[in-house]
Amino acid sequence: MDQLLAMRVFCAIVEAQGFSAAAERLDSTHSSVSRQLKNLEAALGVQLLNRTTRRFSLTAAGQRYYEACIDILARVEAATQAMAHEHQRVAGTLRVSVPLAIGTLELDDWLPAFQTRYPDIRLDLSCSDEMVDLVADGFDLALRISQPLGDSSLVARTLVESDIVLVASPVYLARHGLPATPHALAQHELIAFSGSQTATEWVIEPARGEAVHLPLEGRLMTDAITAAYSATLAGVGIAAFTWNTVRPALARGHLVHVLPGCTLGKRFYYALYPHTRHVAPKVRAFVDYMSEHYRAR
């Protein structure tokens, strides 16, 4: 049995939601696709799909195997493309949708080195926290900061996970003092970012002990992460950002990490792009670069 072929067939069945649709996608036949799945299940010794006459669903083992297959096939594809395009120039216009945090607040931390490495890529950045339809809106890929993503018709590559931390400016802390406990935050001005799941309350997780639920009742709420960041630098109050966003400002002393033993959970940085047999070199280059950039931090 061709293991990689069987993996591709299995993934096609799952993604196409059926044997006939998978066969059409693979330019094969229903019987061939069914036989590949049967042989794969026999070789693994587990049932991957629950099948009835009208529908099917993944078993728990099938879900785990599908996720593993996606990762393995992506690596095989990446290795193949790396060899195929080893001497090919990476060039062209790359249209990318990025959230405001990456496209503005983090820009100086990643863009100069990217342009130095890939001088023949013309980067067309659309900076917005709104979700976009990659295909309909003409994007090559999108970067997103979110909680773990569910099922998607897109390839979702995790670039990095980042703690959400509390920060304030030295000016603000000089006036109001540094809170020593999560409960002490109730006596401070808190800046709420209404574009996140933490718009109405912060759930503060200390290294030890129970989480503290803190209602956000400060005098400033904004739906723009850039406005929240500027207000924090200006000394308006304490705000929550991913560590990746505020790391440079912390290093320069423009912001101070508040309650360093606590977090407000995590967010995941994703690169999203359509499923395709051949990922364009410019897309692969950008995704690989951003993954390298974040993991080095």
pLDDT (tens digit, 9 = 90+) per residue, 218-271? 889 999 999 999 999 999 999 999 999 999 999 999 999 999 999 999 999 999
- Residue 128: the pLDDT is 92
- Residues contacting residue 121 through CB under 8 Å, at least 6 positions apart: 90, 91, 92, 93, 94, 114, 115, 282, 285, 286
- Residue 80: the pLDDT is 80
Q: Which two tokens stand for residue 282?
A: 């410019």
- Residue 279: the pLDDT is 84
* Whether domain 163-267 has CATH 3.40.50.150: no
| Residue in the block written with tokens 């659309």 | 126
Rounded-to-integer distance, Cα 10 and Cα 272, Å: 22
Q: What single-letter amino acid sits at 174?
A: A
Going by the DSSP 8-state scheme, the letter that residue 86 receives in this structure is T
- Residue 87: the pLDDT is 47
92-154+269-295 and 163-267: identical CATH topology: yes
Rounded-to-integer distance, Cα 7 and Cα 33, Å: 11
Fold for domain 3-84?
Answer: Arc Repressor Mutant, subunit A (1.10.10)
DSSP per residue over 224-253, as a string?
-HHHHHHHHHTTS-BEEEEHHHHHHHHHHT
The CA R_g of the chain, rounded to the nearest whole Å, is: 23
Taking 50 as the pLDDT cut, the residues of the chain under it are 87
| Residue in the block written with tokens 């080095």 | 296
Structure confidence by residue, pLDDT tens digits, 132-143: 889 889 999 999
Mean pLDDT for the chain?
90
- Per-residue CA distances from 131 to 37, 38, 134 (Å): 35, 39, 9
Q: Which two tokens stand for residue 145?
A: 């900061």
Going by the DSSP 8-state scheme, the letter that residue 169 receives in this structure is -
Edge-first strand listing for the sheet containing 201-206: 212-215, 201-206, 262-263
- Residue 46: the pLDDT is 93
| Residue in the block written with tokens 């912001």 | 255
Domain locations in the chain as residue ranges: 3-84, 92-154+269-295, 163-267
CB-CB neighbours of 37 under 10 Å = 19
Domain range 92-154+269-295, CATH class:
alpha beta
CA-CA-CA-CA dihedral for 9, 287, 278, 95, to nearest 10: 130
